[in-house]
Amino acid sequence: MKISTALLSVSEKSGIVDFAKELQDLGIEIICSSGTADFLEQNGIHVKKILDITGTEEILDGRVKTLNQKIHGGILADRNNTEHIEQIKEKDITPIDLVVVNFYSVERKIKNDRPIEEIIEKIDIGGPALVRASAKNYQNVGIVVKPDQYGEIIEELRRNEGILDIETRERLAIVAFSHIADYDESISRYLSKKLSD
């Protein structure tokens, strides 16, 4: 599957500038959440913002950013299902082939014994939804959840002229679901202790 459009929404910014430059060099269009877009633009990389795709502003202090039909439709559409393809064309939804997401660091705040209100505010909603949608549709979408995966992804895309093999997408999906499970487990443990107390 050839990668044409990538969505980047990362809390941990290490390595993302070089990764985005490599994607652009490969002719891949990049869509970003506002924070990631601002960071990349400060480093000379022009990207589209999610606002440009959805036409709707982020709301509730950023609690709602990516939870939108134009984003999740682009990720979840089955490219082999003609009805799906017709629907996304009708609704002017761009297929998204690669999703790069990492979450707010709740564990770090837990370890630093931050107030519960601060930790609750940092529980990521849109990020896990993006990861879950992408991993569910691994037949059509690559999902990257850790900066240490960037190098191997770029290497494969270069080697395969922009194509990400199904075996790679399968492996990425497994890592992604494990990542979500670990994230949710850390929140569950924390809340069980705090709210029980």
Can you give the CATH number for the domain in which 175 is found? Answer: 3.40.50.1380
- When the pLDDT of each residue in the chain is averaged and rounded to a whole number, the result is 89
As a dihedral over the C-alpha atoms of residue 148, residue 154, residue 159, residue 164, rounded to 10 degrees, the angle is 90
Q: Which domain holds residue 121?
A: 5-196
Number of domains in the chain: 1
How wide is the angle at C-alpha 44 spanned by C-alphas 93 and 73, nearest 5°? 15
Angle at the Cα of 113 from the Cα atoms of 110 and 114, rounded to 5 degrees: 85
pLDDT tens for each residue of 34-78? 889 999 999 999 999 988 888 677 666 666 666 788 999 999 999
Inform me whether the pLDDT recorded for 91 exceeds 70.
yes
pTM for the whole structure: 0.90
